[in-house]
């Protein structure tokens, strides 16, 4: 009995990983930046927490809605392309067979072998063959709007809770520096974990996320400080 060979590729994770990392990063950065900006404007502790919670709720809903609409548009486009391809297969099967043969020739097969491969794949599932090799639509990369929306909202909420919890636990003068420091740590950790999961360089992944997060926090802190001085 032949041994079965199973492989798990990182591309299988690309759909949910992208949405999850984007959501968590946005949750951490936007909430921490909001907290720092409001705190820098000399707001009291309760006002800072209310702003943070409001930012969490609004951000999670916004991420879910935006991701759903965006990915659903991609799904609609894929569906329309598949319907068009199905019609062409029904009305012009020989032309579609030549097109598929040409694709395999372009990939390195000789004409005779390419024709045989195209004929066999067409006989098995013509639409699947054209979807994969002509349109670039496969199961691993197909659009899943609900999954993307839920992943984004959940990961945003988890990310936003981290700086919010720090702000709640440590009021007073230390709050700004503690939130900034812990957020930098969370961002580096997120970037490193995401890079490792996706098979990329961990240090580069962590540095990239950390740089933009720190820049966002510095900008909002500066704006809050300016308003705080102006209102003093």
Q: pLDDT by residue (tens digit) across 28-60? A: 999 999 999 999 888 889 999 999 999 999 999
189 located within any domain: yes
pLDDT digits (tens, 9 = 90+) for 96-139: 888 888 888 888 888 888 888 888 888 888 878 777 777 777 66
Residue 45: inside a domain, yes or no? yes
Query: What total of structural domains would you count in the chain?
Result: 1
Residue environment code for 147-186, b if the CB has 16+ CB neighbours within 10 A, otherwise e: ebbbbbbbbbbebbbbbbebbbebeeeebbebbbebbbeb
Is residue 5 a part of any domain in this protein? no
Residue 136 covered by a domain: yes
Domain assignment of residue 44, given as a range: 10-231
Q: Is residue 179 part of a domain?
A: yes
Residue 27 resides in a domain: yes
> Does 222 map to a domain?
yes
User: Per the domain annotation, does 4 fall within a domain?
Assistant: no
Q: Is the entire prediction scored with pTM above 0.75?
A: no
């Amino acid at each position: 009995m032949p041994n079965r060979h199973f492989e798990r590729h990182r591309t299988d994770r690309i759909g949910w990983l992208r949405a999850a990392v984007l959501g968590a990063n946005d949750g951490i950065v936007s909430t921490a930046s909001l907290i720092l900006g409001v705190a820098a404007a000399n707001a009291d502790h309760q006002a800072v927490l209310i702003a943070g919670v409001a930012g969490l709720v609004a951000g999670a809903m916004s991420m879910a809605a935006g991701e759903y609409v965006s990915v659903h548009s991609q799904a609609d486009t894929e569906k329309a392309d598949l319907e068009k391809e199905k019609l062409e297969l029904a009305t012009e099967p020989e032309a579609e067979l030549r097109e598929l043969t040409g694709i395999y020739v372009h990939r390195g097969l000789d004409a005779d072998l390419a024709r045989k491969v195209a004929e066999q794949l067409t006989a098995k599932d013509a639409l699947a063959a054209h979807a994969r090799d002509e349109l670039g639509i496969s199961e691993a990369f197909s659009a899943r709007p609900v999954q993307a929306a839920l992943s984004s909202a959940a990961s945003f909420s988890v990310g936003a809770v981290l700086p919010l919890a720090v702000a709640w636990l440590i009021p007073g003068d230390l709050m700004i520096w503690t939130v900034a420091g812990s957020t930098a740590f969370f961002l580096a950790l997120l970037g490193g974990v995401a890079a490792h999961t996706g098979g990329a360089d961990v240090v580069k992944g962590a540095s990239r996320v950390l740089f933009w997060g720190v820049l966002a926090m510095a900008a909002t802190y500066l704006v809050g400080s300016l308003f705080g001085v102006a209102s003093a």
